[in-house]
């Protein structure tokens, strides 16, 4: 344990041993090589550039520039480094003109070991001029590009400036670069390497497994708030946690409801005044047992070790987001829950958001694929972790610490119900050229002669009542599964009254199901037990 890196680890940071690939990464980068680092949240990415920065500074090689997209994050890191006796500073839009000038002068003087800067700041001619000067004097030790997935337009926080960071490699030849991220599927990985021109960088890919997190994805019942309340009261009373909701309104409602139930909950979303957001964040970080109810505006760079649960009341966009958001639980390595509820409406909403956006067809195709992967995870009846890791390219065994491993779900064969639902959609459309929402379709399948059914003459369809044995919950589960398989599409339809609603359509993927070539196994949730004994038809 006598390498210079170990000494820095112990003397500066107070840690006895490196974790995972840290040492190999540090050796590579301190030695002047490029690296692309994929490590889960909490894995210890910061040391991977902080220690090389200190080592290279000690060798007289100058300053390390850390590109980071988040001011709060920079601030925390700089504070921690200074406390450890490392000369660090940051340059961002939160500084006054005079403060920024002081930092720039310090940089030129060689006063810092690490300088954190936002990408848009790094890319200014003024800043590049300072770097040119340092480079000419051999005083530019290293570039670290944090949150490197921001370079990818497929990722959840694409930042166009990140693409231009490739110029650092061209303009400052010989200065090593390290790019780091906590989330990247194969596609994003390729994007990072290409977008930052790091194709030749050595790749360090850590396992993405977070064994202490127990994944649970459940069906949304009629009162999701009650489900959440129940979950918190029964399993996490007094624990710190994060509840993610999709909209600001939902954040407010949920926080209110939790407070009324005596839970110390605070809202957080981009619509709140900055000071209030800060106050809430500080309380969450400092106090014990605060539940933060938030949109995804909350979380990046939040390093709170003892978050005992992350709950999702709405579906995240894709598996990367789900992984990153749930990854905020249990950073201390102790048991934590990732709990999510979702329903048919969530799936419909997500599909429609993709179809209704004015993005390019290519972009939509990628988004569709990502949503399908998430829905497949949500509908899975086998190990969640295995699927999650497989998505990040890792093979693994059933984990024993997810809902499906702990309590293998009973499954029922939804193939017949799916065929009946799909042929109803087909017949309705063939008869009138119209598409309908799930409620009406279910009425036809279950043989309910509602006003609307009679008005359209749908009681005369050959599929009227063919699925009378299925409950609404079962048919909803079938529709969810079909949507997750892209065997069902969503189309927004406008009414004469100026409203609009979602209707279901057939897709190319419907055919194999209609023909009975694709079997549909569905989890048998308590809400979806058969109305009568399931009758099997061929």
Give the range of 62-70, 277-285, 292-300, 381-389 binding Zn ion by CB under 5 A.
381-389
To the nearest 10°, report the CA torsion of 513, 526, 375, 327.
-160
Return all residues near 384 (Cβ < 8 A) that are at least 6 apart: 215, 216, 217, 377, 399, 402, 403, 404, 405
Residue of 145, 196, 402, 520 interacting with Zn ion (CB under 5 A):
402
399 binds Zn ion (CB under 5 A): yes
Closest to 304 in 3D by CA, of 323, 327, 282, 328: 328
Residue of 9, 229, 405, 522 interacting with Zn ion (CB under 5 A):
405
Q: Which is nearer to ligand ADP, 66 or 293 (CB)?
A: 66
Cα first-last separation, the chain: 69
- Residue 383, contacted partner among Zn ion, ligand ADP, none, CB below 5-8 A by kind: Zn ion
Give the range of 253-261, 373-381, 397-405, 466-474 binding Zn ion by CB under 5 A.
397-405
Q: Which two tokens stand for residue 463?
A: 């599929």
Q: Which is nearer to ligand ADP, 305 or 516 (CB)?
A: 305
Shortest distance, position 120 Cβ to ligand ADP, whole Å: 22
Q: Which is nearer to ligand ADP, 84 or 521 (CB)?
A: 84
Residues at the site binding ligand ADP, with contacts judged by CB under 6 A: 15, 18-19, 22, 39, 41-47, 182, 303
- Residue 163, contacted partner among Zn ion, ligand ADP, none, CB below 5-8 A by kind: none
Q: Which helix (H) or strand (E) holds 316?
A: none
Q: Which is nearer to ligand ADP, 43 or 316 (CB)?
A: 43
Shortest distance, position 122 Cβ to ligand ADP, whole Å: 20
Q: Which is nearer to ligand ADP, 161 or 303 (CB)?
A: 303
Shortest distance, position 383 Cβ to Zn ion, whole Å: 3
- Residue 303, contacted partner among Zn ion, ligand ADP, none, CB below 5-8 A by kind: ligand ADP
383 binds Zn ion (CB under 5 A): yes
- Residue 18, contacted partner among ligand ADP, Zn ion, none, CB below 5-8 A by kind: ligand ADP
Shortest distance, position 238 Cβ to ligand ADP, whole Å: 23
Q: Which is nearer to ligand ADP, 43 or 414 (CB)?
A: 43
Q: Which is nearer to ligand ADP, 18 or 464 (CB)?
A: 18
Shortest distance, position 21 Cβ to ligand ADP, whole Å: 11
Outline where DSSP puts E strands in 269-376: 291-294, 309-312, 336-342
Closest to 258 in 3D by CA, of 278, 281, 286, 233: 233
Q: Which two tokens stand for residue 16?
A: 């006895």
Shortest distance, position 403 Cβ to Zn ion, whole Å: 8
Shortest distance, position 310 Cβ to ligand ADP, whole Å: 15
- What is the C-alpha separation between 294 and 421, in angstroms, rounded? 37
Under 8 Å between Cβ of 488 and 506 = yes
Give the range of 40-48, 399-407, 417-425, 452-460 binding Zn ion by CB under 5 A.
399-407
Shortest distance, position 450 Cβ to ligand ADP, whole Å: 54
Exposed e or buried b per residue across 13-29, where buried means at least 16 C-beta atoms within 10 angstroms of its C-beta: beeeebeebbbebbbbb
Shortest distance, position 282 Cβ to ligand ADP, whole Å: 18
Shortest distance, position 144 Cβ to ligand ADP, whole Å: 11
Q: Which residues pair with 82 in a beta bridge?
A: none
Q: Which is nearer to Zn ion, 396 or 534 (CB)?
A: 396
Shortest distance, position 161 Cβ to ligand ADP, whole Å: 21
Residue 420 burial (CB count, 10 A)? 23
Q: Which is nearer to ligand ADP, 134 or 182 (CB)?
A: 182
Question: For residue 328, how far is the Cα from the chain centroid?
Answer: 11
- What is the C-alpha separation between 391 and 445, in angstroms, rounded? 36
Residue 440 burial (CB count, 10 A)? 21
Q: Which two tokens stand for residue 356?
A: 């209704």
Under 8 Å between Cβ of 115 and 87 = no
Q: Which is nearer to ligand ADP, 22 or 474 (CB)?
A: 22
Return all residues near 50 (Cβ < 8 A) that are at least 6 apart: 13, 81, 86, 114
Q: What angle do CA 13, 134, 127 make, to 5 degrees?
A: 90
- Residue 246, contacted partner among ligand ADP, Zn ion, none, CB below 5-8 A by kind: none
Shortest distance, position 382 Cβ to Zn ion, whole Å: 8
- Residue 156, contacted partner among Zn ion, ligand ADP, none, CB below 5-8 A by kind: none
**Of how many residues is the chain composed?**
538
Closest to 418 in 3D by CA, of 487, 318, 355: 487
Residue whose CB is nearest to ligand ADP in the complex, by number:
44
- Residue 15, contacted partner among ligand ADP, Zn ion, none, CB below 5-8 A by kind: ligand ADP
Closest to 513 in 3D by CA, of 491, 484, 471, 533: 484
Q: Which is nearer to Zn ion, 319 or 402 (CB)?
A: 402
Q: Which is nearer to ligand ADP, 42 or 224 (CB)?
A: 42
Q: How far is CA 510 from CA 422, 425, 433, 485, 486, in A?
A: 7, 11, 18, 9, 8
385 binds Zn ion (CB under 5 A): yes
Strands 265-268 and 309-312: unpaired
- What is the C-alpha separation between 520 and 507, in angstroms, rounded? 16
- Residue 399, contacted partner among ligand ADP, Zn ion, none, CB below 5-8 A by kind: Zn ion
Q: Which residues make up the interface to Zn ion (CB under 5 A)?
A: 383, 385, 399, 402, 405
């Amino acid at each position: 344990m006598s390498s210079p890196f170990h000494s820095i680890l112990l003397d500066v940071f107070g840690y006895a041993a490196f974790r995972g690939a840290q040492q190999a990464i540090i050796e590579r980068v301190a030695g002047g090589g490029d690296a692309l680092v994929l490590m889960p949240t909490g894995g210890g990415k910061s040391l991977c550039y902080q220690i090389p920065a200190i080592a290279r500074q000690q060798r007289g090689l100058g300053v390390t520039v850390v590109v980071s997209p988040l001011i709060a994050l920079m601030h925390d890191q700089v504070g921690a480094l200074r406390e450890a006796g490392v000369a660090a500073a940051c340059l961002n839009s939160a500084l006054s003109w005079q403060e920024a000038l002081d930092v720039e002068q310090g940089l030129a003087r060689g006063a810092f070991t690490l300088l954190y800067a936002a990408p848009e700041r790094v890319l200014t001619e003024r800043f590049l001029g300072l770097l040119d000067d340092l480079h000419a004097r051999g005083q530019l030790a290293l570039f670290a590009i944090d949150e490197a997935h921001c370079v990818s337009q497929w990722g959840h926080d694409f930042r166009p400036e990140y693409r231009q960071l490739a110029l650092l490699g061209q303009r400052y030849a010989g200065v090593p670069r390290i790019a780091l991220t906590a989330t990247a599927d194969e596609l994003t990985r390729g994007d990072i390497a290409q977008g930052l021109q790091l194709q030749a960088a050595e790749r360090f890919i850590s396992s993405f497994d977070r064994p202490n997190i127990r994944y649970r994805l459940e069906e949304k019942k009629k009162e999701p708030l009650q489900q959440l309340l129940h979950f918190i009261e029964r399993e996490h009373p007094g624990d710190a946690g994060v509840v993610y909701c999709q909209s600001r309104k939902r954040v407010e409602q949920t926080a209110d409801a939790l407070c009324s139930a005596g839970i110390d909950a605070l809202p957080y979303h981009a619509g709140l005044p900055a000071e209030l957001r800060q106050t809430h964040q500080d309380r969450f970080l400092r106090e014990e047992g605060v539940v933060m109810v938030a949109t995804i505006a909350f979380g990046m760079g939040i390093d709170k070790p003892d978050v005992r649960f992350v709950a999702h009341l709405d579906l995240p966009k894709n598996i990367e987001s789900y992984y990153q958001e749930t990854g905020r639980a249990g950073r201390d390595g102790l048991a934590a829950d990732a709990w999510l509820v979702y329903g048919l409406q969530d799936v419909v909403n997500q599909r429609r958001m993709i179809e209704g956006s004015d993005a390019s067809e290519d972009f939509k195709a990628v988004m569709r694929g990502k949503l399908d992967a998430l829905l497949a995870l949500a509908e899975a009846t086998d190990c969640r972790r295995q699927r999650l890791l497989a998505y990040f390219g890792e093979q693994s065994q059933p984990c024993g610490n997810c809902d499906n491993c702990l309590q293998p779900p009973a499954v029922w064969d939804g193939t017949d119900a799916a065929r009946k639902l799909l042929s109803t959609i087909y017949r309705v459309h063939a008869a009138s050229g119209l598409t309908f929402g799930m409620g009406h379709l279910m009425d036809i399948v279950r043989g309910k002669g509602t006003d609307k059914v009679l008005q359209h003459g749908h009681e005369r369809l050959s599929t009227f009542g063919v699925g009378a044995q299925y409950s609404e919950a079962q048919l909803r589960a079938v529709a969810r599964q079909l949507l997750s398989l892209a065997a069902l599409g969503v189309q927004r339809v406008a009414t004469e009254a100026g409203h609009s609603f979602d209707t279901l359509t057939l897709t190319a993927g419907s055919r194999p199901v209609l023909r009975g070539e694709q079997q549909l196994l569905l989890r048998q949730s308590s809400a979806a037990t058969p109305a009568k004994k399931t009758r099997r038809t061929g």
